[in-house]
């Protein structure tokens, strides 16, 4: 287990050493912004609809946050207190260069023991947990350190994923199995860990392939029509979202002792 986690750290550090260009995280190009940010915006929208979104007053922890893509987007959405965590110190250094206002922490998402229970209002992951040897453990750590909600954006179990999706990702000497979630699994992992029947689990499913859609519109559509074309592609796929390849899962944590709970007093998680 340690070897695979070390390999992930090394692969990310080496990516930085090789001069990988993380500029797309800060670009204002509307097409890139739309393609990169739409899933996290969908997660935030779920919180907003339930009255659980308050960027000015909520702290956020991004897990497996790399060079800060999600952190930078969240700051642009008005969050003042954003911490990006990752396993790779070199990647976090890039993150601080891209946005010096972001806080960073070097953390293994599977073992964030140095963070107390409920230390952040929101805890977010995007395209990260499937790099872990134990994605469900990483997710329960996120539940543990969250006070208000968790947003999980990861591949969804799907026919398309099974037929043509990547099963094993390889980067340098690091290999990871692409773990795909579904609504039932998300709910079971959440409730069995929290022991709260009043946690709300919202497993939204949608289509997302930002690289392919970006390539398609850049190749086939002239400049100013690219953003509308990308939006049109996803609008056309919307009726088929229940077959989608991506999970935008939101868990809203409720007070276990709130009226209406069928459970006895909750245990302390940890």
Ligand X SMILES: C[S@@+](CC[C@H](N)C(=O)[O-])C[C@H]1O[C@@H](n2cnc3c(N)ncnc32)[C@H](O)[C@@H]1O
Query: Closest residue (Cβ) to ligand X?
Result: 66
Nearer to ligand X (CB atom), residue 129 or residue 199 = 129
Minimum CB–partner distance for residue 126 and ligand X (Å) = 5
How distant is the alpha carbon of residue 99 from its chain centre?
Answer: 19
8-state DSSP, 57: T
Residue 111 sits at φ, ψ, to 5 deg, of -145, 80
In the list 31, 60, 64, 227, the residue contacting ligand X (rule: CB under 6 A) is 64
Decide if 125 contacts 62 (C-beta within 8 A). Answer: yes
Nearer to ligand X (CB atom), residue 81 or residue 86 = 86
8-state DSSP, 25: G
CA distances from 229 to 32, 57, 196, 236 (A): 13, 36, 43, 10
Name residues contacting ligand X, limited to 126-165 (CB under 6 A). Answer: 126-128, 131-132
Q: Which of 80, 88, 40, 45 is nearest to 64 (CA)?
A: 88
Does residue 37 bind ligand X (CB under 6 A)? no
- The one segment of 52-60, 64-72, 160-168, 248-256 that binds ligand X by CB under 6 A: 64-72
- The one segment of 80-88, 113-121, 142-150, 226-234 that binds ligand X by CB under 6 A: 80-88
Report how far residue 61's alpha carbon sits from residue 119's, in angstroms, rounded to the nearest whole number: 9
- The one segment of 86-94, 187-195, 208-216, 253-261 that binds ligand X by CB under 6 A: 86-94
Minimum CB–partner distance for residue 31 and ligand X (Å) = 17
Nearer to ligand X (CB atom), residue 114 or residue 262 = 114
Minimum CB–partner distance for residue 42 and ligand X (Å) = 15
Does residue 39 bind ligand X (CB under 6 A)? no
Contacts with 69 (C-beta within 8 Å, 6 or more apart), sequence order: 22, 24, 25, 36, 126
Does residue 87 bind ligand X (CB under 6 A)? yes
Contacts with 72 (C-beta within 8 Å, 6 or more apart), sequence order: 25, 26, 98, 99, 102
Question: Which residues are near ligand X by CB under 6 A?
Answer: 5, 8, 12, 64-66, 69-70, 86-88, 91, 108-110, 126-128, 131-132
């Amino acid at each position: 287990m340690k070897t695979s986690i070390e390999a992930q750290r090394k692969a990310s550090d080496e990516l930085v050493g090789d001069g990988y260009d993380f500029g797309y995280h800060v670009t204002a190009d509307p097409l890139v912004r739309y393609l990169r940010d739409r899933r996290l915006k969908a997660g935030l929208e779920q919180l907003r609809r339930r009255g659980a979104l308050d960027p000015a007053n909520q702290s956020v922890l991004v897990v497996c946050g790399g060079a800060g893509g999600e952190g930078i987007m969240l700051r642009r959405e008005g969050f003042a207190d954003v911490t990006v965590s990752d396993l790779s110190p070199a990647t976090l250094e890039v993150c601080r260069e891209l946005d010096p206002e972001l806080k960073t922490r070097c953390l293994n998402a599977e073992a964030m023991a140095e963070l107390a229970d409920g230390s952040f209002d929101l805890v977010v992951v995007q395209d990260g947990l499937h790099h872990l040897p134990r994605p469900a453990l990483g997710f329960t750590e996120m539940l543990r350190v969250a006070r208000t909600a968790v947003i999980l954006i990861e591949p969804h179990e799907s026919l398309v994923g099974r037929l043509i999706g990547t099963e094993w990702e390889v980067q340098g000497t690091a290999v990871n199995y692409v773990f795909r979630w579904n609504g039932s699994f998300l709910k079971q992992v959440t409730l069995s860990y929290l022991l709260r029947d009043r946690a709300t689990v919202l497993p939204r499913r949608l289509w997302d392939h930002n690289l392919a859609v970006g390539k398609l519109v850049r190749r086939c559509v002239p400049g100013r029509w690219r953003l509308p074309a990308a939006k049109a592609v996803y609008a056309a796929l919307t009726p088929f979202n229940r077959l989608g390849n991506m999970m935008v899962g939101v868990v809203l944590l409720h007070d276990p002792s709130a009226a209406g709970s069928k459970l006895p007093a909750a245990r302390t998680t940890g």
